[in-house]
Copies of this chain bind each other. A is one copy, B any other.
Amino acid sequence: MELIQSTQNPLYKLAGKLATHRRDRLKQGLMLLDGTHLVAAALDAGLALQHVLVTQAAINNPECVALVKRADARVHLLDEPLFATLSELPSLTGMLAIAAMPAPATPQRGGLVLALDGVQDPGNVGSILRTALAAGVGQVWLSPGCADVWSPKVLRAGMGAQFVLALHERANLPALLAAFDGPVAATLLEGSVDLYDADLRGNLALVLGAEGQGVSPDIAALATLRLRIPMAPGIESLNVGAAAAICLYERVRQSR
């Protein structure tokens, strides 16, 4: 097995680009998976790995051994200092993998769709994707201003929900929502109904807006169901991940 020790190694350079730049991920159609948990989630979801990178400290770790066996990919040893520049996990159990990004979903016109409008925080986007998967969301549409779901931070926060969900990034939300065959719901203050008085069953597109600004005006204008999450006096807004969880799970409850 090859031991990669040089910063000039092409595979090391590729992994570094995939870790840091969306542009390179899009150009190559590849992503970097950091950690055994994500690698296992990718394999569980049926994704093919192209390369697996492990340190000498990790190569005999039972979890790594099992994953290397499952992955039908080229395995490379990566020097500890180089590994540390690519991974946020301990090298003793650490593992990196390069895999093709799943193809984007073709937008659907019905079912349950979650649309994210300019949600920039990677932790929020990842948490929302996990919630969406748990709540049975059919598709997630993300506007161009959202965090990249294939970045290492969003992959970590999403814990692999990305590999199972149907995702449509850089979505033209106004056009897609206008064509949606069902209510377009958004959390808005003006003219809104209490969340628990709204009927969330059936076809539904739920839009959540950016931290701070909320849903953008052109999308707010398309909302046919304006929702208000009840809040105690003295607080104006919730974290967008909390708002997503509350709305999606009220739909879960109503749909039982």
- A131 and B161 alpha carbons, distance in the complex (Å): 24
- A121 and B196 alpha carbons, distance in the complex (Å): 30
A254 CB, min distance to chain B CBs, angstroms: 10
Total residues of chain A contacting the partner, CB 8 A: 37
Given known A-B contacts A133-B234, A235-B130, A229 and B249 have beta carbons under 8 A apart:
yes
Q: Which of A200-224 contact B (CB under 8 A)?
A: none
> Quick one: closest B residue to A133, CB to CB?
B235
Is there contact, CB below 8 Å, between B256 and A134?
no
One of A13-21, A53-61, A70-78, A240-248 contacting the partner:
A240-248
Is there contact, CB below 8 Å, between B232 and A136?
yes
Residues of B within 8 A of A250 (CB): 249, 253
Is there contact, CB below 8 Å, between B196 and A253?
yes
Q: Which of A116-172 contact B (CB under 8 A)?
A: 121, 123, 126-128, 130-131, 133-136, 157, 159, 161, 164
Residues of B within 8 A of A234 (CB): 44, 133, 164
**A residues neighboring B (CB under 8 Å):** 44, 121, 123, 126-128, 130-131, 133-136, 157, 159, 161, 164, 196, 229-232, 234-235, 237-239, 241-246, 249-250, 252-253, 256
Is there contact, CB below 8 Å, between B130 and A238?
yes
> Quick one: closest B residue to A131, CB to CB?
B242
Is there contact, CB below 8 Å, between A230 and B242?
no
Residues of B within 8 A of A230 (CB): 252, 256
Is there contact, CB below 8 Å, between A238 and B164?
no
Give the contacting residue for A231; candidates B128, B134, B157; CB below 8 A: B134
A253 CB, min distance to chain B CBs, angstroms: 5
